[in-house]
Amino acid sequence: MQRNPLTTRLFAVLLLVSLWDATRAATPDPIVAAVNDPTRTEADRDRDTRDHAIDVLQFFGIAPGMIVVDLFAGGGYYSELIGRIVGTGGKVYMHNNAAYQTFIGDALTARINGGRLQNVAQLNAEVGQLGMPPASVDLVLMSMSYHDLYFKSDDWSVDPAALFAEVHAMLKPGGVLAVIDHLAAPGTGSSAAQPLHRIDESFARSDIESRGFKFTGSLDVLRNPADDHTKTVFDTAVRGHTDRFVDRFVRK
């Protein structure tokens, strides 16, 4: 019995689609796989839930092979996670300047000495001395550190213009600037950075766009309407549960 050529081609197409679906189902999402890795600490896994790590990293588009700078990385929570996602074909530069290294202290030391960092290189340098080649980076993350550009103390001062010029230069055209930060009351601009370590989101968007970046979207999973924005982010009533914005920008 002779088969209809059209039927044969249709059967072949359906078979290929079925095989592709099966292959895709057998390949775990690298972000989900990294977050669910049982070798990670219980403290980090608790933070995953609180900070909606999978949603945030998927929103920013973290993927295997990327070159990422975790700017003012602190204790390295995101550096460790992203290092697992980018794999051996990528690299995470876990940046801290001298002041941040003093502030986070033992948390970073424990992460490094625990041998949990994969595809991560430490980058200890001041702004203006990061040394990243021009147009070499796919994504720069600023997690709860953007507001610090508008905070001043005896041992802390960062020039926003200098920092964004360096970030703009290191990012590839179309590269992502990923920003997470504590919300201040609307209309307060940068004034809450000093007493509360918070920043007005509208101010942040306008400021960052003026530095050669384009706002491309936001994610609401870290919003907390119960936060009244009048407390410092270190107040025990809100610490770890502040109202936060998650904004994505691209380098023009």
8 is a domain residue: no
Annotate the chain with three-state secondary structure: CCCCHHHHHHHHHHHHHHHHHHHHHHCCCHHHHHHCCCCCCHHHHHHHHHHCHHHHHHHHCCCCCCEEEEECCCCCHHHHHHHHHHCCCCEEEEEECHHHHHHHCHHHHHHHHCCCCCCEEEEECCCCCCCCCCCCEEEEEEECCHHHHHCCECCECCCHHHHHHHHHHHEEEEEEEEEEEEECCCCCCCCCHHHHCCECHHHHHHHHHCCCEEEEEEECCCCCCCCCCCCCCCCCCCCCCCCEEEEEEEEC
With CA atoms as reference, report the closest residue to 204 among 195, 194, 196, 193. Answer: 193
pLDDT of amino acid 10: 58
Predicted local distance difference test score (pLDDT) of residue 15: 60
- Residue 19, domain member (yes or no): no
| Residue 36 domain-assigned (yes or no) | yes
Q: Is residue 212 part of a domain?
A: yes
CA 144 to chain centre: 10
Q: Write down the pTM of the prediction.
A: 0.88
| 163: amino acid identity, one letter | L
- Domain carrying residue 40: 28-251
Report the distance separating Cα 152 and Cα 148, nearest Å: 8
pLDDT value for 128: 94
Sign for the CA dihedral angle at 203, 175, 36, 221 comes to positive
CB 164 within 8 A of CB 130: no
Helix 53-60, helix 77-86: angle, nearest 10? 60
- Residue 128, both tokens: 């203006």
Low-confidence ranges of the chain (pLDDT < 50): 22-24
Rounded to 5°, angle at Cα 147 from 202 and 241: 85
Report the distance separating Cα 234 and Cα 170, nearest Å: 32
**Residue at 22 is within a domain:** no
The two most distant CA atoms of the chain are separated, in Å, by 89
Q: Any idea of the CA torsion for 106, 150, 69, 247, to the nearest 10 degrees?
A: 110
Count of the separate structural domains present in the chain? 1
32 within a domain of the structure (yes/no)? yes
CA distance 166 to 212: 11
Query: Which pLDDT score is estimated for 101?
Result: 86
In a domain? residue 2: no
Q: How far apart are CA 96 and CA 122, in angstroms?
A: 8
What percentage of the chain reaches a pLDDT higher than 70?
90
In a domain, residue 216? The reply is yes
**For the domain that residue 44 is a member of, what is the CATH number?**
3.40.50.150
Write out pLDDT tens, residues 94-131.
999 999 888 887 888 889 898 889 999 999 999 999 99
